[in-house]
Structure 1
Amino acid sequence: MAITMQGNWTVQVKSKAAAFKQRFIIQGSSNGKDGIYDGVTSTAPVQVDGAQWTIQIQHKPSGRGQAWQPSAMRLGTPSRSGGQILLDVFSNDSGGDSDYNDLVLTCGMAETASEYVVYGKVRSYRGLCGFNPCFPWYVIDTWPQLKALLNYQSVKEAIGALYPDRLRKLEKYRHLPVEELGPFTPMMLPTAVPQAASFNQNLSFVAKREIASVAAANIKPELYLDLGKLRDRLKLYCSVKDQAGLLLRFQEYDRTDAELAGGPYTGEGDREMLGLTATDEVGNYVFRFSRDLADVVDELDDQVIGGPDLTTQLQPDLLVQVMGGAGESDILFETGLHANIPNLRRINLCIPDHLLNPGPACQGGRAIQSIGNIWTISGVGNTFDTDGRITATNINGPQITNGAWRGTLEMFACFLAHPEVTHYVLRYRRPDTGWNFVRDELTHIYIPQIGNSTSPQHKVGPFDETLSGGESVPAYKNIESDSQWIATHRLRKAKLNSSTYAPNSNPGPVIFRIDGYRKVSGELVKVAGADDQITLYIDNRLVEGDIASVAMGGSTPGECALFELTSPDAPLTLRFRADHPGGFTQNYRVAVFRGSGTPVAVSDLTPPAQPLDVDYNAGTHGALFFGTFNGVAPDGGNYVVAELQPDSGAWLPADKPFCAFAFEVYGTTRATNGYGKPGARRLDVELIGLQVADA
């Protein structure tokens, strides 16, 4: 894959040790240096400049008619020498060895105070890691990590000192799955006490110097030993994996006033986009950026109270994002803060494996491998009924039973048994119609054009192509094995806007078909056996519902109702509805809250009792669960009636003669886009007041 570079570098051939011809290609320069250069030591050095540009090394195998082929490439480690920063680029051709010395290039840049180079290795991590294994700080990256770590008292106390708001949020929304708690900003707990403290005076210089650069050390000193023991224990069950072909985006970060006053890192400060780079085939990366005098002046306002010396604090702070695409919604992960970066700095990155989500690996057996994270191959616990409803039990994707498909559907497919496939065509039809062509545009990031987001080379398809029989078809490039494209989601063959194929006015089964072709003399020729099809039941509608009334003793005063309790647990009559017209309700429930949000457990104790929290059950409901239509005695509008009484025996606490109450109805839809499911929606709320009769 191409190596991405930024700024002004001089590229020259350091050595050649290969029988095959070698060359290198520069693309994306701003000073007219794009072109092909001979891979021999006599080639003159090439001074290349540009915000984003790339180097691609190629070789030409011996033999008549052999074409130039891309070589495997790896980055070396930058070093200082004679006032320069030097970086080697190693390559390996398709010959019999794997020594990565076939053609070696050296890139050099002048070392100045205004130029910065960061480099390192990117890995994903999984297992019982607890904390991010790459940071010297105790960094928590996700809600599940935080929830698991709160089982340890030392972590809970440390977080309570620096991030009490996170603890309050977890407690307030403890009834929600963690994936519904919203985006997670990394939490950074220092691994050392301030320089002034006497505890653990053998701390490294780096840890002491940076202690106040992100968060105040408000943690009791004795907790550090417990945190260290915990980390040592957990890392035995933590595994990492190199990540090739990832797209990284760098931002300079200006801390908030609260952070400058010694508060913890929040991620809420101002940011400046610096640029992009990509990891090589073993996860190495390099990124260069510049800071001018105005940037340094700005840093004068970004000084942490009690932090390191001024020279150190004038250095920039960085955040790194892993991108799945070019848009703001394509951020797969964002690191914690890397503070006070010197002009040459190694920063290794560790990414939670499940957030990286590179897409499925090719397993063979069939072409269509998955929709999102839901595998379509056999033997993994996922099945489809004849209409395309999905039952998924595999832990690597959302679990669902007899669910519909909704939203944007990412189809992953591969032609593992047919590597000659260069293009593919997608078709669709309803069960009672003929075939039509899929024309949803698909783009991916083409590494040689990484600096030009508008380049047409990022387009995967569709393109107008001609079949061998003369028919014109919309076809897509098969990029699954081409390392010139960003690695994440290279197996993605389509992003299907499901409402195009089954609008809300006509939901139901849709059959999708993929056919692989190879290009011969400008025409596409069908590759025998390189095809597959799948049926998906598409329904984008959500559960709808409302509360028709809240009544007591037959009285329904409506808005701004105030009821006088005839007894502490006097029944309140709730008439409500929750309904999905296609039968894809997952759950409906009634919730009651008192005052500022105190949950009040309620039940219907009047026969026949109306259930108030009902989950879909295939054994009970079959393939279809509509909602209150499946409750007790629904009327023609699918409304049911419940006589609500508090489980505690009283609506009001003994010391409260009056309080406001909220009666709410929620519904959850049984559908997926392959990555998740719609969360519970509040369908309606009714507010009333309750008071004791003699108040």
Structure 2
Amino acid sequence: MSIKMQGMWLVSVKSKSAAFPQQFKIEGADTGNGTYAGTPGSPEIFVNGSNWSVTVQNNPGTGFIPSGMQITFPVSSGGFYRFDIQSNDAGADEDFDDLILTCRTPVDANDYIIYGNVSYYEGFCLFNPCNRRYIVIDTLVALKDAMLNPALKKLIGSYYPSRVKALETVALNPQPLPPSPGDPFTPMVIPLTEAAAIPAKERFTVRSIPDTVPLAGDSRAKNEGGFVFNRLVSAQKSIGTAAGISSVNIADKLRSDAITIADRYRFYCESGSLPNAILNFQEYDRSMGELSGDPYTGNGERTDLGSSFADRNGNYIFRFKVNATDIIDEIETDTASGETTTEQSAPDVLVQLLCPGSAVPVFESAPNWNIGHLRRVNICVPKTKSCLIPLACNGQHILQGVGNIVLGPPTASGTRIGSNNFLNDLGIITAYGSGAPGVRCAAWNGTLQLRGCLSNNAVKYYRLWYRRNAPFTFFTAFTKPFSLPRFQGINVVDTPVFDLAKDAYLNVETDTTYSWLIAYRNIKARIATGDFTAGSYIFRIQGLDASLNPVAGTEETIPLYFETQEIAAQIDPEITMDGVGPLGECALFTLPVVNGTVVEGAGLTVKFKAVHKPASATGFMNSYGLSMAKGAGGFVFTPAGAPANFIAPGILDATINSGRNYVHGSDLNCITYFRGTINEAAADVEGYYTVSLLPATGHWLEPGQPFCAFGISLSGYLRLTNGESGYPYFSGGQVLIGIQRP
């Protein structure tokens, strides 16, 4: 998506770090429209207009296409506001340094710039987390929940007695809610740190001087000599008297309790960015009631300031102009020659969120009081009113699970946390959630059912791609066909989902041609991990309309770490008994006699290996160990198995053992080097580990027992899952021996 801009800016190429050709395009401006090469050192582009956009493009060999774009936040330096536009082209890396533009504009006394992040919030949080000085209640549901707390109920009722009374009246009435305080819900704003419902109005004594930005060096600026502006020299804040609320007397303890409760709720608040959010900005003039001491009502006059978009991270920049009222003009004693002194009223700004295709705001923020010339304003939207997470699935993320493992929404780092399941940035999964196989730091293996949601009616098809999760790798189309069940009359039949003619998968969620079984409509792919070499991959899905054009907001990626079941597990058939020596398979050992006494517990030396992926440095061993059967039953020996404690990556501690068990630590920072016996410091190059087994009872044979047969076995489990089951079993076979008395 393009970056939307307002007013006059100078745009230049800061740097280029890409193999693909780069360019950027200016559209919608009064001055400066055109396409410009992405060449560092080229002249700045003078752009001016009330509402224009800049788009970075790259050419991967098939023509110029839009790059991914994101912004940095503006700073004030040397009389200019500056920020960067970073871009990522179609190459494999995602470092957003392929082409970086710098935008700068002079600090104008009549200009205001607000910036920040747009995010959604949900979970166990009643109040808008973007506000710290105020309790801001955005929804009727949140108000009802807040009223359950006596301290909050009293505080809210002190400022909004009529709304609380209306809510209590409705609660006793079985009839539907009246229009107010139902939707559309006007935010309720309750101060936490002061008595006044609305803060004092701030004014700025502003000193400015005429100035010019030279433009002569840029022939593309239509040979203009320069851009004249009203340069801000200083802005001194003065605060008036706050509108008092004489009818309300809040005890300090009640306000202190409310602060504690508000902080507790914020601690449990979950949030995420709203990429490409559509924002509308309004200046708010306080109503007569608010000026006389009422809390915020939303009934004041409004002036539209314009609109903008957030970038892929939910970050935005918006610029607007407020006309100054001349109070003093060059008559103050401290006003320098050529300066102008004016008084400006700090504007109060509302921010509205619009859903694509609709001009009616779905959410409106509480006022941001007393905006300065450069001000950060973060916007938090209840998830139920966000409409953009993403557009594809009615407020939910797209790729939602693998098999029975639920996956949380995507994050900038690649990790996904949700339903008590944890997918790290490599695609390794730890699952505790209900219905999921309980695996810890497991790789994916087998056939994976990738589940997702593309319930938007605009999405008729979708495509999938994959690439290695590593720099300088490229996406490859994933076109593995699969079938889903549908009704054919009274019968259920399997029908292919991949459409060869369209080179895309049919979105069965919105397809009305067939009656697809509802329970299977969210399966978006069946991925056979055996078709891939082991390692971490990024999978990408994108929704398409009926003409196979991408649908905005329907693209998402997920990391998945694939692993094989390649296992080398074996017991060396040559067993050695202390005092007797080595014998092969089916050996018959005679207990040794020392000084006329039979050694009942002579040690058995066993050499074995259990190695996941012998030719690799990574592995996902969960557990392995020797076991022994005597006759038809089990037999206990020492040493027992031991925890797989690592003293260094790939090196286990020196505990003598007959097996190891994976020790789980972090749910996200996973061990990928537990391969088995080859991690033992005493193992040979093939991974064979030697241990001496002793009977736990002190004797192999019972008194009076002349002989018995024994079986020594090796088995274990791997940390692998297909999302429906986990920890596949492996066996290293069995060695049979006999032990007899002399």
- TM-score by length of structure 2 reads 0.46
- TM-score by length of structure 1 reads 0.49
Q: Which has more strand, going by share of residues?
A: 2
